[in-house]
Amino acid sequence: MTAIAPTRREPDLSYLLDHTSHVLRTRMAAALAEVGLTARMHCVLVHAMAEERTQAQLAELGDIDKTTMVVTVDALERAGLAERRPSGTDRRARIITVTEEGARVAVRSQEIVDRVHREVLATLPAEEREVLVRALTRLATGHLAEPVEGPQQVRRARQRES
């Protein structure tokens, strides 16, 4: 016996957001590869430049799990873009500082990130760009600001970037 599929009554928002997010991430990864960074590396550099922050604080800002954060900072250190230093206020904490070369790369990577976002938004008419950004911002800071706890943890498709 063949069951009749339910009729969709609303647009498939999950697909639209997941698909566009995935494709944007692939474009961003390809673009940031120009300067040898991943999106996570870019995120850590930019947030570490903004103010003195511990590795844990940077992980929280970038929504990066501890293991991934360690690997990311290790890669930044190997590339000579960042360093771990002891915190002046908490001897257990490590501050991530950006080197001079790291600062140059972060400026360039921010230009790349801005370019990718600009190119994507440029495919829409100006009034639609503004509406899209306003609507997504409202959802991200309102109804969809926090995940809902459920019986099974849902894997995130991507980490929050800056």
pLDDT value at position 162? 47
pLDDT value at position 154? 66
Residue 16, C-beta contacts closer than 8 angstroms, at least 6 positions apart: none
Q: How far apart are CA 65 and CA 59, in angstroms?
A: 6
Closest C-alpha to 43, from 72, 65, 66? 72
Stated pTM of the model: 0.84
Q: Is the Cβ–Cβ distance between 103 and 35 less than 8 Å?
A: no
- Which tokens in the block code for residue 61? 């800002």
Taking only the tens of pLDDT, the chain with its 162 residues reads: 688 989 989 999 999 999 999 999 999 999 999 999 999 999 999 999 999 999 999 999 999 999 999 999 999 999 999 999 998 888 888 899 999 999 999 999 999 999 999 999 999 999 999 999 999 999 999 999 998 888 876 666 554 444
Burial 42-80 (b: 16+ CB within 10 A, else e): bbbbbbbbeeebbbebbbebbebeeeebeebbebbeeee
CA dihedral over 109, 110, 113, 114, signed as positive or negative: negative
pLDDT value at position 159? 47
pLDDT value at position 73? 97
pLDDT value at position 124? 97
Residue 59, C-beta contacts closer than 8 angstroms, at least 6 positions apart: 65, 66, 69
Domain boundaries, given as residue ranges, for the chain? 14-141
* Tokens 């600001």 -> residue: 145
Closest C-alpha to 112, from 20, 21, 157, 46? 46
Write down the architecture of domain 14-141 according to CATH: Orthogonal Bundle (1.10)
pLDDT value at position 10? 92
